[in-house]
């Protein structure tokens, strides 16, 4: 057994002492979107601080716990709060909870985040399905000893975001009369927002939205054979395209869109 796998298994064992619930779908709630957790018919919860060697979120707007329970008939484990590279964790540490959720049984991962919009057709408050990502500005979470038990050394990244899930989420949104756009998400290190010059460059590279999470999580999930979906809420226009940026505004827009977001995510999970 690899050293990393043994460490992960230890955390899984700690969670298994609290609950034997087996999730099929894992969900990560982004900045200001943690309110969705109330919609889950909760069976158990585990605080990150109660687990050994576990990265703990330090950002306001990010709670720190796993919530286990049902959304309709679907068994979910939900991360209320994620950790970020900019908090000083390595990307390998950042993706540890994703590995844990896979080891607990999750086959599908739904990632959500708040992001800045680059695409000129995007408005503040829009939802965007992630169809692809650019993670090249942050170190790969797969660097170092490979966890052979969970995936191969050189994983293919041709289709990180599952095409069937993209169609499925589009159909759900359309039935609910919720507009959802599509685009490429680019992950930066943060914690600073970008300069207008960087945003211009990211636009040239093909990014439609920018944020400080998600791509490394999607990458590791893909390497473990999970089906991945990603939904961004465009909380602001990217630097230089609108007003000056602030975390307060990001949280404010997230809270204004929280009811629509909850409805969308509930329906996606219930019928998945």
Residue 35 · residue 6 · CB < 8 Å: no
246 is catalytic: no
- The Cα–Cα gap between 24 and 12 comes to 15
62 is catalytic: yes
Among 71, 96, 101, 238, contact with ligand HPA (rule: CB under 6 A): 238
Among 4, 135, 236, 267, contact with ligand HPA (rule: CB under 6 A): 236
Among 8, 71, 212, 265, contact with ligand HPA (rule: CB under 6 A): 212
Alpha helices by DSSP H, listed for 108-208, are 163-175, 196-205
201 is catalytic: no
Stretch that binds ligand HPA, among 58-66, 77-85, 91-99, 210-218 (CB under 6 A): 210-218
Under the binding rule (CB under 6 A), the answer on residue 211 touching ligand HPA is yes
Local structure of 150: helix, strand or coil: coil
Site string for ligand HPA, 98-127 (x = CB under 6 A): ----------------xxx-----------
Alpha helices by DSSP H, listed for the chain, are 3-16, 91-94, 96-104, 163-175, 196-205, 215-223, 247-256, 258-270
Query: Between residues 213 and 267, which has the closer beta carbon with respect to ligand HPA?
Result: 213
Question: Which residues partner with 184 through β-bridges?
Answer: 132
Q: Which of 37, 62, 194, 209 is catalytic?
A: 62
Residue 152 · residue 98 · CB < 8 Å: no
84 is catalytic: yes
- Look-up of token digits 């990458």: 219
144: left (phi over 0), alpha (psi -120 to 50) or beta: left
- The Cα–Cα gap between 17 and 236 comes to 42
- The Cα–Cα gap between 61 and 72 comes to 26
Q: Which of 48, 79, 84, 185 is catalytic?
A: 84
- Minimum Å distance from CB 234 to ligand HPA? 8
- Minimum Å distance from CB 12 to ligand HPA? 31
Structure-token pair, residue 176 = 């609910």
Query: Between residues 95 and 115, which has the closer beta carbon with respect to ligand HPA?
Result: 115
Residue 261 · residue 30 · CB < 8 Å: no
Local structure of 128: helix, strand or coil: strand
Under the binding rule (CB under 6 A), the answer on residue 193 touching ligand HPA is yes
- The Cα–Cα gap between 253 and 91 comes to 27
133 is catalytic: no
- Minimum Å distance from CB 187 to ligand HPA? 9
- Minimum Å distance from CB 83 to ligand HPA? 15
Under the binding rule (CB under 6 A), the answer on residue 183 touching ligand HPA is no
- Minimum Å distance from CB 108 to ligand HPA? 24
- How many residues at the interface with ligand HPA, by CB under 6 A? 14
Footprint of ligand HPA (CB under 6 A)? 114-116, 188, 193-194, 210-212, 235-236, 238, 245, 250
List the catalytic residues: 31, 62, 84, 86-87, 114, 212-213, 236, 247
């Amino acid at each position: 057994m690899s050293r990393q796998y043994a460490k992960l298994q230890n955390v899984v064992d700690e969670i298994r002492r609290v609950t034997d619930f087996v999730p099929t779908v894992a969900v990560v709630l982004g900045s200001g979107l943690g309110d969705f957790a109330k919609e889950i018919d909760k069976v158990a919860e585990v605080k990150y601080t109660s687990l050994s060697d576990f990265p703990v979120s330090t950002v306001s707007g990010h709670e720190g716990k796993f919530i286990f329970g049902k959304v309709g008939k679907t068994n979910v484990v939900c991360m209320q709060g994620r950790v970020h590279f900019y908090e000083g964790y390595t990307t390998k540490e950042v993706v540890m909870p994703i590995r844990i959720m896979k080891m607990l049984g999750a086959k599908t991962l739904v990632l959500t985040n708040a992001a800045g919009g680059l695409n000129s057709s995007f408005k503040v408050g829009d939802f965007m399905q992630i169809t692809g990502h650019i993670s090249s500005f942050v170190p790969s979470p797969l660097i170092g000893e490979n966890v052979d038990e969970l995936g191969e050394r050189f994983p293919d990244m041709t289709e990180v975001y599952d095409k069937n899930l993209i169609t499925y989420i589009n159909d759900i949104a359309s039935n609910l009369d919720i507009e959802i756009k599509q685009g490429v998400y680019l992950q930066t290190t943060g914690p600073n927002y970008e300069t207008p010059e960087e945003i211009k460059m990211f636009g040239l590279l093909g990014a439609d939205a920018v944020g400080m999470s998600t791509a490394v999580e999607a990458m590791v999930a893909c390497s473990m054979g999970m089906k991945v979906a990603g939904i961004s809420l465009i909380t602001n226009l990217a630097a230089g395209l609108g007003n000056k940026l602030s975390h307060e505004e990001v949280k404010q827009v997230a809270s204004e869109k929280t009811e629509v977001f909850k409805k969308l995510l509930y329906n996606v999970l219930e019928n998945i």
